[in-house]
Structure 1
Amino acid sequence: MRRRLLGVLLAFSVVAVACFAVPLLTALSDERTKGLELSRTADLAWFAMLAKYADESGSPMRLQSELLSFHALYGEDVLVVDSDRNLVASAGDIDAGQDEVPHLIDVALRGGTTSYIPSIWPWSSEDVLLARPFGTGIGVSGAIVMRASVDQAAADVAVKHAMVLTGAVVAMGVCALLCGYVTRWVLRPLANLERGVRALAEGRSGAEVPDTSGPPELRDVVSSFNRMSRSLAEAAATQAQLVADASHQLRNPMAALRLRIDAMGGWVPPERDRSYQAVLREVERLEHLMDGLLKLALADSKATSLAAPREAAAGEPALPEAGDEVCDVAVVLPERLDAWRDIADAGGVHLASPSADDGEPVPIRMAESEFAQVLDIVIDNAVKHAGAGATVRTEVRADGPEAYLQVTDDGPGLPAAELPLATRRFWRSTRGHAPGSGLGLTIAERLVVARKGRFELRRVDPHGLSVRIAVPMSGPAPLPRARAQAATARGVRQPTP
C-alpha cells in the first residue's frame, strides 16, 4: 500500500511540476525567438535605409562598410541587390543563386517581407533566411537578404532552460521528500494497526498500538482498536480464569462425591445396581470433563505466553523466548507408545512401532511435556475410536524446516463433513460411544498451533483416520543427551486408562 500511495503522490507531483515547467520553457524559447526576430528586423530596416541612400547617391561604400562590420560582429551574411538582381553590396558567403535566396529576392522585389523565425530551442542550429525590399515610397529599388544565425540565441535558451530544469529537479526532490513524509505520516498508524491485528490474531493478550501519530481519523481508529483489544484481553482472561477456577474448585467436592459413591457400592441392592453404575459413569464423565477444562485452560495460557513477546528488565540479559524449548520426537514417541501399549492390547488394538528416518534425532521447537501431552491425546483418540482389531501406525519424517508426525488408524474414521468439527470444543461424533469430554483434540490443536505448527485430520481410504502434525524443527544438530540415555534416565509415564 505504501508503494501505491507513494507512486500516486509522486505521479501527481511530476504532473504538477511538468505543468509548470513545460509552459515556462516554451515561453522562454518564444521570448528569445521574438527578441532575435525584432533585432534582425531592425537591422534589415537600417540596411534598407543605407541601401536607399546608396541607390540615390550612387556610392555603396558606407553600405558595404556597415555590412562588413555587422558580419564581423555577428558572423551573419548579408546580400544587397538592385531591382535587376545586380549585386550592390554583400558580406560573408552568400550570393543570389544559393538555396532559397532567389525566391526570397523575388518576394522582396514584389514588396514582400520575410521576417519569421521559428521557435528557438537549445538544439536549434539551422540558420534562418530573412529578406525585405528597399526603395522609395512609390517603388522598389532592390532587395536585402540576411542569413541569420540562431546559435547564440540557442545557447541563451539552453542556459535559461537549464536553470528551469534545475529548479524543476529541486522541486521534484522537495516533492519526493514531502510525499515520503506524508506517506509515512498517513500509513504509520495503519502499519501499527496491522501489527496489532496480527498480534491479536496470534493470541497475544492485550495487544495495543501507539496512537500518537497520523491523521486524527486514523488515531481514532487506533484508539478504538486498543479499547477493543483491552476488552478482549479482559474477557479472555476472565474466561480462562473462570474455567481454571471452576475446574480446580470442583475437584474437592467431586473427589468427596466419588469416595461416598464408591463407599456405597457394598450397600446397593442388586435391583439398584444398574442405577448405581449409571451414577458412577456420570461421575467419571464429570471428572473427565473437569480434567479436560483444566488442561484446555492451561493450553490457552501456554499459547498466550508463547505469542506474547518477553522483555528483560533494564540492565539484565535478554530473556530466552518462550518457544525455545526443544524435544526429540524420536525419543518421546517410542516412550509414549510403550506407555499406551498395554491399554491398546486390552482394547484389542495393535499399536505398531514407529517408522522414522533411520533412527536419527528429530528435534522440534516444542516442550517435551507439551509434545507428550499431544501424543497422549492423539494415541488415546485412535485407541478408543478405532475399535478392536484395528491397527494404529505412526510415522515421523523431517522435511526442510518442519518435522511431520502422522498417526493413522484403520478404524471406521470420520465422515468428511465431521472432520472440521472434530477439533471444536465439546464436540463428539454421534457414530461412537467411547467415553470422553470432547476436549482432547481441541487441546492438542491449541498446543501445536501455539508453536506455529499445523494440526490436520484426514480420511484414510478405504476407512480410517489420519492425524498429521507439523511442527518447526530446531535445527539439524542432535540434542545434548542421547536417546538411550534419555530412555533410562526418565521413567516412562503411564497414561490413565
Structure 2
Amino acid sequence: MRTRLLAVLVTLALAVVAAFAVPLLSATADQRTQQLVISRSSDVDRFVVLAQQAVDSGDATALNADARQYSSLYSEGVLIVDAQRQPLVETGGLTSSDPEARTVIEATLRNEPEAPVERIRPWSDTPVLFARPVGTGTRVSGVVLLRASVTAAASDVAAAWSAIAAGAMVVAALFVLLAVLLSRWMVRPLVELETGVLAVAGGRRAQVPERSGPRELRSLAASVNRMSDAVVESANQQQRLVADTSHQLRNPMAALRLRLDLLGTEVENRPAYEATVAEVERLERILDGLLALATAESTATRLAARADDEPADLAAVVAERVDAWRLSADEAGATLVPCAGHTEPLLVRTPESELAQILDVLLDNAVHHAGQGATITAAWESASDSVTLIVTDDGPGLPPEDLARATERFWRAGGDGAPRGTGLGLAIAREQTRARGGVLELRAVEPHGLQVRITLPAAVTQ
C-alpha cells in the first residue's frame, strides 16, 4: 500500500513540477528569440537607411565600410542589392549567388511578409535571414539581407534551461521527500494495525501504538487495543469457568462414586446396583467429554493458542499411540496395522500432548465402531506447508447424510440407543484441530469404511 500511495504522490508531484517547468522553458526560449529578432531587426533597419543614402548619392563607399565592420564585429554576413538584383555590398560570406539568399531577395522585392523566426532552442544552429526592402512601399530600390548566427542565443537558452532544470529537480526532490514522509506517516499506523489484528487472530496479545498517524487511525488503534483487551479478558473468564466447573462437578461425582462403592457389599439387588454404577460411569464419561470440549473450545479462542508452541513429530506420536491402542484393538477383534518406519521427523505446529489426544479420539472411534474383523490403518501425507494424519478403517462406515453430522456434539451413530460413547469425541478433536489452524475431514471409503483426515500446519524447520 505504501508503494502505491508513494507512486501516486510522486506522480502528482512530478506532474506539478512539469506543469510549471515546461511553460517556463518555452517562455525563456521565446524571450531570447525575441531579443535576437529585435536586435537584428534594428541592425537591418540601420542598413536600410544607409543603403537608401547610397542609392540616392550613388556612393556606396560608406555603406561598404560600415557593413564590413559589422561583419568583422559579429561574424555575420550582410548582403545589399539594388532593384536590378546587383550586389552593392557582400560581406561575411553572404553572396547574391546563394540560393536561399536569392529566394528571400525575390520575396522581399515583391513586398511579401517576412516569415517568423522559429523558436531558438539549445540545439539550434541554423542561421536566420533578416530582410528589408530599401525604399517605399510603392518604389523598392533594393534589399538589405542579414544572416544572423543563433549560436550565442542558443547558448543563452541552454544556460537558462539548465538553471530551470536544476531548480525543477531540487523542487521535485523536495516533493519526493515530502511524499515519502507523508506516506510513511499515513501508512505506518495501517501496517501496525494490520500486525495487531493478525496477532489477535493468531493468538497473541496486541498493543498498537496510538501516538502516530492521522487522528482517525489513532482512534482506530485505540479501538483495536480495547478489542484485544476484551478478547483476553473473555478468554481468561472462559478458562476460569472451565476450571471452576471442573472442580464443582468432579467433587460431587467422586463422592457419589465413593458412596456407591461403599454400598456395593450391602446391596442385595445386584442388577440394579450394577445398572446404577454403569449410569454413574456414563455420567463421568460425559462430564470428562464436556470438560475436554470446553477446554478445546477455550484453546481455539484464547490467546494461549500461540504459534510458538513446541512442535511435535507426528510420525513418532502416531507410532507411539498405535502401539498403545494395539491391545484394545485385539480385544475388540480389529486389526491395527503398524505404521511404516520413517527416517525424517514430520514436525507439525501442535504440542505433542494435543496431537496424542486427537489421535486417541480417532483410534478409539475406529476400534470400537469398526467392528470385529476390521482393519485399521494410521498413516500420514506431507506437503510443503502441511502434514495430514489419516486414520482409515474398513468397517461399516457412515452413510453420506451422517458424515456431516458426525462432528456435532452428542451425535452418535445408531441413534440415542447406541451402547457406548458420549458423542463428543470427534467434536473435541475438531475443536483441538481448529485451535491449531488445522482441518478435520471425514470421508467414506469404498466399498465400505470410514476415513478421518486431520490436516495440520507444518512446523518451520530452522
TM-score (norm 1): 0.82
Partner residue in 2 for 1:60: 60
* Structure-2 residue corresponding to 1:483: none
- Please list the CA deviations of residues 284-313 of structure 1 after superposition, one character each: whole Å capped at 9, or x if unmatched: 34322332344455556767566559xxxx
Equivalent residue pairs, number: 457
Secondary structure (helix, strand or coil) at the match of 1:154 reads helix
Mapping 1:30-109, distance limit 5 Å: 30-109=30-109
Q: CA deviation at 1:438?
A: 4.4
Deviations 1:344-366 (A, max 9, x none): 2222322111134xx42425255
Is 2:456 the partner of 1:467? no
Match of 1:286 in 2: 283
- 1:372 corresponds in structure 2 to 356
Q: CA deviation at 1:27?
A: 1.0
Q: Which moved more, 1:84-93 or 1:162-171?
A: 162-171
1:240-279 mapped onto 2 (5 Å cutoff): 240-264=239-263, 273=271, 279=276
Give the counterpart letter for 2:447 in structure 1: P
Please give the per-residue CA displacement for 1:64-94, whole angstroms capped at 9, x wherever unaligned: 2232233233322221101111101021222
Whether the aligned pair in 1 keeps the contact of 2:17 and 2:168 (CA below 8 Å) is: yes
Equivalent AA in structure 2 for residue 123 of structure 1: W
Aligned pair in 2 of structure 1 residues 35, 115: CA closer, same or farther (>3 Å)?
A: farther
After superposing the two structures, state which structure 1 stretch, 327-336 or 96-105, moved more: 327-336
Structure 2 unaligned spans of 5+: none
Quote the offset at 1:12 in angstroms: 1.3
394-403 or 250-259: bigger deviation: 394-403
Does the Cα contact within 8 Å between 1:248 and 1:294 map onto a contact in 2? no
Q: Secondary structure at the match of 1:158?
A: helix
Distance, in Å, in 2 between the alignment partners of 1:21 and 1:87 is: 47
CA distance in 2, matches of 1:78, 1:361: 97
Contact 1:112–1:132 (8 Å) recurs in 2: no
CA displacement, residues 330-389 of structure 1 (integer Å, 9 cap, x when unaligned): 443233212212222222322111134xx4242525543333223212211322333333
**Per-residue deviation, 1:207:** 2.2
Q: Distance in 2 between matches of 1:64 and 1:439?
A: 120
Q: Distance in 2 between the 1:50 and 1:430 partners?
A: 123
Is the contact between residue 134 and residue 140 of structure 1 (CA under 8 Å) also seen in structure 2?
A: yes
Per-residue CA distance 1:175-216 (angstroms, 9 max, x = gap): 111111111111111111111111111122x42211111110
1:100 match: secondary structure = helix
Matched, 1:221 2:238: no
1:354 aligns with 2:339: yes
Is contact 2:126-2:150 (8 Å) kept?
Answer: yes
Q: Secondary structure at the match of 2:28?
A: helix
CA contact (8 A) 1:81 1:143 kept: yes
Contact 1:363–1:474 (8 Å) recurs in 2? no
CA distance in structure 1 between the partners assigned to 2:135 and 2:162 by the alignment: 44
The residue type equivalent to 1:198 in the other structure is L
Most deviating of 25-34 and 70-79: 70-79
Contact 1:377 1:440 in 2 (8 A): yes
Q: Which residue of 1 aligns with 2:8?
A: 8
Structure 2 counterpart of 1:172: 172
Amino acid at match of 1:238: Q
Q: Secondary structure at the match of 1:351?
A: strand
Determine the C-alpha separation between the residues in 1 that align with 2:363 and 2:407: 15
Q: Give the conservation status (yes or no) of the 8 Å contact 2:407–2:426.
A: yes
Are residues 111 and 455 of structure 1, via their aligned partners in 2, closer, same or farther at CA, if it must alter by over 3 Å? same
Please give the secondary structure, in 2, of the residue aligned with 1:465. Answer: strand
- Contact 2:441/2:453 (<8 A) preserved: yes
Alpha-carbon distance between aligned partners in 1 of 2:322 and 2:54, rounded to the nearest angstrom: 126
Which residue type is aligned with residue 453 of structure 2?
A: V
**Cα separation, partners in 2 of 1:122 and 1:237, compared to 1, 3 Å:** same
> Structure 1 residue 106: deviation in Å?
2.1
Which is further off, 462-471 or 40-49?
462-471
Structure 1 residue 280, shift from structure 2 partner = 4.3
* Deviation for aligned residue 1:95: 2.3
Alignment TM-score, normalising by the size of structure 2? 0.88
Question: Matched residues in 2 for 1:64 and 1:285: separation?
Answer: 132
Q: 1:111 Cα deviation (Å)?
A: 3.3
- Which residue identity does 1:286 align to in structure 2? L
Higher mean displacement: 208-217 or 447-456? 447-456
Distance in 1 of aligned mates of 2:261 and 2:364: 26
Percent identity over paired residues: 44
Deviation at 1:110, TM superposition (A): 2.8
Deviates more, 1:330-339 or 1:160-169: 330-339
Q: CA RMSD in A?
A: 3.0
- Unaligned stretches of 5+ residues in structure 1: 310-321, 477-497
1:129 corresponds to which residue? 129
Check the 8 A contact 1:454/1:471 in 2, yes or no: no
1:336 corresponds to which of 321, 337, 342: 321
Aligned to 1:185: 185
Alignment partner for residue 428 of structure 1, among 387, 411, 434?
Answer: 411
C-alpha contact (below 8 Å) 1:327/1:368 kept by paired residues: yes
1:453–1:472 Cα contact (<8 Å) kept? no
